[in-house]
Amino acid sequence: MTAGANPLTSRATFAPEAGPPVAAVQFRAHIDAFERLGYDVASLLEGIGVRRSDLDDPDALISCATCGRLFERAMQVRPLRNPGIRLGAVVPIGAFPLLDYLAVTADDVGQACWQIARYVQMVGSPFPIAIDESDDPVRIQCVIGSATVRFGVEYFISLMVHHLREETEMRMRVEYASVTHQPDDIDEMQQILGCRVRAQAAWSGLALSREAWRQPMRRRDSVLRSVLESHANEVSARLPSADPLTVAVRQALIGRIGRADRGIEAVARDLAMSPRTLQRRLALAGSSYQEVSDQLHREVAEKHLADATLSIAEVAYLLGYSEPAAFHRAFKRWNGVTPQEFRQR
């Protein structure tokens, strides 16, 4: 393909005018990537009316229209072939602090991919991820809809390939990448990704062999679990003194912070009793399982919300909620205000 501003700019499709906004942390990662590729980002930001300080709020959202203007302006200044692939290749691990930490400390590639899929669902990413482990190779699919654009698909694929390959010390081998569109330069795309690319396919994403899916991550550890439990232990120590059973329930809950299996059945099993017995004994102490659980989770939530680096959606993720709305409802029930109102205070 002949390089030139008109063909490249016309073929590059970016964020639509209407669609879900993106988190400020994601937009900031794009800005930093453009800077690594040699763009004058101060000029780009000035041209679209965005200040760097606008991106400091962890809950800030950037409209799709603004994202689109950023990429269009960059391509007008200096067009790139396969811009999503190129940008994704230079985004370092750590650009998305919590997401990257969750991924790189997973046990293996498969667990990292599930962490990423759950995270993007929680933060409302315009590119939800679907994982199909029923066959070999495993499919990590970017669920595209009418509002999804090719840049985002290529960016997602490039990020996944480069970060997972780096964190497996180059042991992870990608079977192939799949995209529903025709890339600007498929040979360059295959060279950057280091794998075959199937263009104009039925789905977009990555295919990994079972062997690649089970590759251990080099930094796998339980540091995040330790941090979460440390925060919860600090909170528990500040709570009013209680009878030994209530303290035992708190400790069992602390071990399950951020996990889905934190109901009374799981905690009763940890304490070697039936749920009915646990509830009855707590009632005799003047409490209930729900009260103990709510008190601990409320205090831990407040501690996380005091951390200005975490978005509200990320706090919901850390506490094990399936969606931000469920966390908002629970927090308002506990405190009478929304997490956003609490944080603004």
Domain assignment present for 109: yes
Distance between CA atoms of residues 269 and 149, nearest Å: 48
Domain that residue 333 falls in: 223-344
> Are residues 172 and 57 both part of a single domain?
yes
Domain assignment present for 158: yes
278 exposure class (CB count in 10 Å sphere: 0-12, 13-18, 19+):
buried
> Are residues 281 and 136 both part of a single domain?
no
> Are residues 53 and 175 both part of a single domain?
yes
Write the CATH number for 300: 1.10.10.60
| Domain edge (last residue) among 165, 181, 213 | 213
Q: pLDDT-based confidence at 228, cuts 50/70/90?
A: low
26 exposure class (CB count in 10 Å sphere: 0-12, 13-18, 19+):
buried
Q: Spell out a b/e string for 81-113, using b for 16 or more CB atoms within 10 Å of the CB, else e.
A: bbbbbbbbbebebebbebbbbbbbbbebbbbbb
| Domain edge (last residue) among 213, 235, 265 | 213
Distance between CA atoms of residues 101 and 91, nearest Å: 14
Domain assignment present for 137: yes
> Are residues 307 and 171 both part of a single domain?
no
Q: Which two tokens stand for residue 154?
A: 């290529």
User: Is 50 exceeded by the pLDDT of residue 127?
Assistant: yes
Domain assignment present for 20: yes
Residue 83, strand partner residues: none
Number of folded domains that form the chain: 2
> Are residues 24 and 169 both part of a single domain?
yes
| Domain edge (last residue) among 213, 246, 272 | 213
pLDDT tens digit sequence for 143-189: 765 444 788 899 999 999 999 999 999 999 999 999 999 999 999 99
Residue 132, strand partner residues: 139
Write the CATH number for 94: 3.90.1520.10
Q: Answer for the pair 344, 305: CB distance below 8 angstroms, yes or no.
A: no
Q: Answer for the pair 239, 295: CB distance below 8 angstroms, yes or no.
A: yes
Distance between CA atoms of residues 205 and 159, nearest Å: 11
Which of the residue ranges 21-25, 50-54, 120-124 would you say has the lowest mean pLDDT? 120-124
Q: Which two tokens stand for residue 194?
A: 């280091």
Distance of CA 4 to the CA centre of its chain: 36
pLDDT tens digit sequence for 236-271: 566 565 678 888 888 888 777 766 677 889 888 888
> Are residues 20 and 165 both part of a single domain?
yes
